[in-house]
Amino acid sequence: MTATPAKETPLTYRLLTGPDDHSFCERVSAALAEGYILYGSPSLAFDGGRTVAAQAVILPGAGSTDDGVK
């Protein structure tokens, strides 16, 4: 008998990074389809050979982001 793996709790915050290409856009689109929303503006950097993109996403209601710091 094989044990059923426990369902992983989704992350409240994710930072998606990678080359600024179709694959990166697909990963951002997939996160949005999973219920994540964009958090902040995207960032772009040039590493001398390619453009690297970053986009933060958050999952509303997935957990508390209040760490008690005011």
Average pLDDT, the chain: 88
DSSP characters over 9-58: PPPSEEEEEEESSHHHHHHHHHHHHTT-EEEEEEEEEE-SSSEEEEEEEE
Domain segments of the chain as ranges: 13-58
pLDDT over 90, % of the chain: 70
Q: Look at residue 13 in the predicted model and tell me its pLDDT.
A: 97
Q: Look at residue 63 in the predicted model and tell me its pLDDT.
A: 67
pTM: 0.75
**pLDDT tier at 8, thresholds 50, 70, 90:** confident
**Each residue of 31-63: pLDDT tens digit?**
999 999 999 999 999 989 999 999 999 999 876
